[in-house]
Amino acid sequence: MRGEQLQRMTAAPLRIAVVAPASRLSPEVPGLVQALAARMYPEQTPRLFFHPQCFLSSGHFAGDDAARAAALVEVANSEAHDAVWFARGGYGSGRLIERVLAQFGPAARDKTWLGYSDAGALLAAFQSQGLGHLAHGPIPQDILREDGEAAVARALAWLVERDPAALEPTLAVDPRPAAAFNLTILCSMLGTPWQPDLAGHVLMLEEVGEYMYRIDRSLLQLTAIRPCAASPACASAAAAPSLPTNPTSPRARMRSPAPGAPDRASPTSAAPISATTRPTRSCRSGPGRPR
């Protein structure tokens, strides 16, 4: 066991806050995730706080923009939480960026942040502002999917003990910083004030059930935009889309397109755990939709 793992395992239980910046969390998820955490760490079960905002409803969203932003700022600035885990994907996370960044205090910079899919918009913005402990990986909602418990277990193993087995395997052999994003989400951040700095990074991409022509256009945009085009990492993105695809694989899970979907891309990834110090790294994750 590594020194960092041992230190984490002998410290006080990790305090993890769960918020939903996009879609509403399914009500059965907290009990399932908490039971899994107790089985994995019976002596020092992490303290999971599912913010009530996760269960609000405003159309597609877990509450309106103001409610979702307020919950995110609350847990970010609270000394009562060590990590923030995004509940699920969907869309709407990017709408909160301006609201929350202006209100973040020092505690937000010290926290670990974990999520993928639409939450990548927030992780990109956080990276652009210098927040240092970001990871692209499984979310609580994943526990409802086939093989989803294994994905959530990897997320917990990384959050609680920084277990290297939870990470995308290539991170152990490549010393370069790594970043992982959903392709569409990353492209939506290009040219904004929150475009992440990917210079010198190995970039891993995830996408699911997307038409090939859209992926082709997104990769064109990603590799052509300035200053991203000057980065060797971006230039190599098309050649290294990211992680293994088989939803039943014990390795990183990638999400598959809907059965029978015409002319769609092969599954590209579901959120490796890409853990990081400053660059967003990638944790192995679980099966895909619905996010």
For residue 4, report the phi and psi dihedrals to the nearest 5 degrees.
-65, -40
Closest CA to 172 of 252, 287, 60: 252
Rounded Cα distance between 172 and 165, Å, is: 9
Report, as an integer, the average pLDDT of 16-43. Answer: 98
Note the pLDDT of residue 31.
Answer: 98
CA distance 183 to 205: 6
CB-based contact 180:204 (threshold 8 Å): yes
pLDDT confidence of residue 170: 87
Could you report the per-residue pLDDT of 168-209, keeping only the tens digit for each? 998 888 889 999 999 999 999 999 999 998 888 999 999 988
Q: What is the pLDDT of residue 284?
A: 59
Cα distances (angstroms) measured from residue 74 to each of 23, 25, 53, 71: 18, 18, 11, 5
pLDDT of residue 230: 46
Q: Using pLDDT thresholds of 50, 70 and 90, give the confidence band for residue 11.
A: confident
Closest CA to 188 of 216, 212, 222, 157: 222
Mean pLDDT of 101-123: 96
Which stretch of 17-21, 32-36, 146-150, 250-254 has the lowest confidence by average pLDDT?
250-254
What mean pLDDT do residues 155-172 have?
92
Which CATH code fits 3-282? 3.40.50.10740
Mean pLDDT of 245-261: 33
Percentage with pLDDT > 70 across the chain: 74
Residue 261 Cα distances to 35, 104, 144, 244, 270, angstroms? 36, 42, 23, 20, 18
pLDDT tens by residue, 130-158: 898 999 999 999 999 999 999 999 999 99
pLDDT for res 9: 52
The average confidence (pLDDT) of the chain is 81
Rounded CA-CA distance 163/118 in Å is 25
At residue 34, the pLDDT reads 98
Contacts of residue 202, Cβ cutoff 8 Å, sequence gap at least 6: 170, 174, 176, 177, 178, 179, 233, 236, 240
3-state secondary structure of 3: helix
Residues 83/114, Cβ–Cβ less than 8 Å: yes
Q: Which amino acid is at 48?
A: L
Q: Which two tokens stand for residue 212?
A: 């090939």
pLDDT surpasses 50 at 248: no
Q: Determine if residue 79 is left, alpha or beta; phi over 0 gives left, psi from -120 to 50 gives alpha, anything else beta.
A: alpha
What's the predicted TM-score (pTM) here? 0.79
Using a 10 angstrom Cβ sphere, with 0-12 exposed, 13-18 middle and 19 or more buried, the burial of residue 258 is: exposed
Geometric angle at alpha carbon 156, from 272 and 65, rounded to 5°: 75
Listed range (58-72, 96-110, 252-266) with the worst mean pLDDT: 252-266
Is residue 261's pLDDT more than 70?
no
Residue with tokens 């932003």: 69
What pLDDT shows up at residue 269?
A: 36
Window from 57-66, 102-111, 222-231, 262-271 with minimum mean pLDDT: 262-271
Return the domain boundaries, the chain.
Answer: 3-282
112-116, 156-160, 172-176, 257-261: the lowest-pLDDT one: 257-261
